[in-house]
A and B are shown apart, each in its own frame.
Chain A
């Protein structure tokens, strides 16, 4: 649209971007039930598409303003004493990336969903939820203070709960939803504590003030647990919850119960990255808390390898992708942990591209297979569904990190940053590299099991067919993105500028400016990474190309197959005792005994009092007359007290005076 240079059309009204999805959600949620699907589709796509357009316009204006970080307080939300939580939105480089990712990928996935969900019940409900998720996600990324961010944070949690449990008649789905919600609660608990601590430390929760003050603080020493460290750890606890890191990752695999578009949008592209976003957003705090940074790095690294190992043996196509997501998120945290926030965000973006792509392709496959998710019942689909296959392959290459795909650049940047990190950087790098090998292995395993070899399914029941355009077009776009998505950083290899890093520099400061002497090292490391991916590819090819049979799982394989028995462990150590406590103490003792007891006690007490008092209501006029007289005596005494007091005192003082 032709707009004047410094005419900020959207920027001044930034709230439009989140508002549009909210309206779409409201309209669909309230009216959609009666509507034919195409209306609902129109509303959903229209709102998100418009939102995307507005975001683009906003970004354009942002650049027109010379990338000046924009911030505006629209209205006061909570004001209590010196505490202020306003509806404040801000737009800086980091936000730009996030907003574009959210709206763009979200829009594409909406389009995809219209095809994928076409024959599902509760069509309007699905899109209402999905738009609502868009709204909260945008709030989350646009928020200019922790409170508003937390609103988005909780909102996306809610939507993820609603969408995981979309098929709420299926018990497993409902349980998965609850699991996700509860596990997130634990993280959110830490997050809130972190917020409180920050408010106590800085007297505000506004990003500007908090970070400005924090910047002036003396950074904690390594191993020292100062206020900032603790606050950062608490925030990170929230992040682990939301972004499915150890030890709170358990909800994400189960979240695959939800429809595949949901898995793609929420549990791959956007929501799960919120944790990374928060850590990156509050990088000022983290840089002042090296201990926290170290913890973040370790957790991220551990999660990466841990999830990757589990992913090696999973039979369910979506489960594999889920664990791969977890491990990729681990990479991002690893990046943040070693101070390479830019790289983390970079990987976040590219990951959102190719992981969404992978999920959508998987969804397409499942669609084609008529709901079949077990890879052992697939195979030889490459010829049947070529588009999907190609896209899937693109995604696989991207994630495994072959140049020149997106994953190559981002993962390379992370590993390089890890290698450079002074505290136990080599170890982290090594583990990261191992995880990379595993990644490429299970990804290619997935590809070969699904598309390669001969078919292991029954022709007569399953009619494999290519998905409609509404699904394949987003696939292609994503495939393209996962190809080119990383080229911002391409020149860095040729000793050129890393555009992405430079773009984010105003936010993070030039944390990892590539210096010339490290440049050769970076090049070698990237080559090593590619070799590692190739290794994984070769092993997968040896094992899964050609005829494969499902072997009986034993030993290590069995442990991996059962995900290290983590769920069982939690069940035994936490859930079981908790349930027992709730049932036997909180319910039977506290609730029934104390709460109900007190309430009933009040009722019984009232009844008893009334029972005794009612006898004054004898209905006998003479008794009433006596009561009237008593009242009269009291009133007279009150009125005439001043009149008699002197006499009274005289009497008290023995009549003297």
Chain B
């Protein structure tokens, strides 16, 4: 069992643990914290795969911005414990098994399709920030601009939504 494998399993366990606790925790803040754990673990996995830039962005954007936003909102709304109502019989009985079925399908499909792939090699050259930015500004320039536009729209939408009408 080589070092990377160990690291992988540790991080994977961390991620799964975080995801499970995200589900089981009853307080949104705790769920949020669990999710942060997941994200950090994933960032670690990216680093393990040699995708440093993505890892950093993952932490900065997801960890530093999005999740902060979540926690901020939770604090703002002063959300209390989650009340476990069961108004939806469908979801109560069929929900979990179906969800598991979907994940099983996906897992099976992924394994079948990705079985023959070579192991991801941490090659700095491949995913150096330069390469990514080159791609981003040449091949994917239109999607890139689109995303910027999307962000703009999102900002406007958020402002419109959040401001109290006066």
Indicate if A618 sits at the interface (CB-CB under 8 A): yes
Q: Which one of B87, B101, B109 lies within 8 Å of A643 (CB-CB)?
A: B109
Bound together, the chains give a CA A644 to CA B113 distance in angstroms of 10
In the complex, what residue of chain A is closest to B106 when comparing beta carbons? A636
Q: How distant is A256 from chain B, measured CB to nearest CB, in Å?
A: 78
The count of residues in chain A whose C-beta lies closer than 8 Å to any C-beta of chain B is 16
Q: How distant is A469 from chain B, measured CB to nearest CB, in Å?
A: 86
Contact B87 A620 (CB under 8 A): yes
Answer whether A630 and B113 are a contact pair too, CB < 8 Å, given A620-B87, A622-B91, A623-B91. Answer: no
For B99-119 the 0/1 string (1 means CB < 8 A from A) is: 101100110110011000000
Indicate if A75 sits at the interface (CB-CB under 8 A): no
Q: Which one of A629, A639, A643, A644 lies within 8 Å of B98 (CB-CB)?
A: A629
Q: How distant is B138 from chain A, measured CB to nearest CB, in Å?
A: 32
- B95: A residues at CB distance < 8 A: 622, 625-626, 629
Bound together, the chains give a CA A643 to CA B108 distance in angstroms of 10
- A637: B residues at CB distance < 8 A: 105
Among B88, B102, B106, B109: residue with most chain A CB under 10 A: B88
Contact B98 A622 (CB under 8 A): no
- B106: A residues at CB distance < 8 A: 636
Task: Classify the interface of chain B: helix, strand, loop or mixed.
Answer: helix
Task: Classify the interface of chain A: helix, strand, loop or mixed.
Answer: helix
Indicate if B90 sits at the interface (CB-CB under 8 A): yes
A382-438 CB contacts (< 8 Å) to partner B: none
Q: How distant is B79 from chain A, measured CB to nearest CB, in Å?
A: 17
The count of residues in chain B whose C-beta lies closer than 8 Å to any C-beta of chain A is 16
Indicate if A632 sits at the interface (CB-CB under 8 A): yes
In the complex, what residue of chain B is closest to A625 when comparing beta carbons? B91
In the complex, what residue of chain B is closest to A629 when comparing beta carbons? B98
In the complex, what residue of chain B is closest to A646 when comparing beta carbons? B112
Q: Which one of A626, A632, A633, A636 lies within 8 Å of B90 (CB-CB)?
A: A626
Contact A633 B102 (CB under 8 A): yes
Contact A643 B102 (CB under 8 A): no
Bound together, the chains give a CA A622 to CA B99 distance in angstroms of 12
Bound together, the chains give a CA A644 to CA B110 distance in angstroms of 12
A470-511 CB contacts (< 8 Å) to partner B: none
Indicate if B94 sits at the interface (CB-CB under 8 A): yes
- B113: A residues at CB distance < 8 A: 643
Indicate if A640 sits at the interface (CB-CB under 8 A): yes
- B99: A residues at CB distance < 8 A: 629
Q: Which one of A620, A632, A640, A644 lies within 8 Å of B91 (CB-CB)?
A: A620
A139-180 CB contacts (< 8 Å) to partner B: none
- A623: B residues at CB distance < 8 A: 88, 90-91
In the complex, what residue of chain A is closest to B91 when comparing beta carbons? A622
Bound together, the chains give a CA A640 to CA B98 distance in angstroms of 17
Contact B109 A626 (CB under 8 A): no
B39-70 CB contacts (< 8 Å) to partner A: none
- B101: A residues at CB distance < 8 A: 633
Bound together, the chains give a CA A643 to CA B101 distance in angstroms of 17
- A632: B residues at CB distance < 8 A: 102
Given contacts A633-B105, A644-B108, 8 further A-B contacts (CB under 8 A): A618-B88, A620-B91, A623-B91, A625-B95, A630-B98, A633-B98, A639-B109, A640-B109
A-B contact pairs, 23 of them (CB 8 A): A618-B87, A618-B90, A620-B91, A622-B90, A622-B95, A623-B90, A623-B91, A625-B95, A626-B91, A626-B94, A629-B95, A629-B98, A629-B99, A629-B102, A630-B98, A633-B101, A633-B105, A636-B102, A636-B105, A636-B109, A639-B109, A640-B109, A640-B112
Nearest 8 CB-CB pairings of A with B = A622-B91, A622-B88, A620-B88, A623-B88, A636-B105, A623-B90, A640-B109, A629-B98
Residues of chain B touching chain A, judged by Cβ–Cβ distance below 8 Å, are 87-88, 90-91, 94-95, 98-99, 101-102, 105-106, 108-109, 112-113
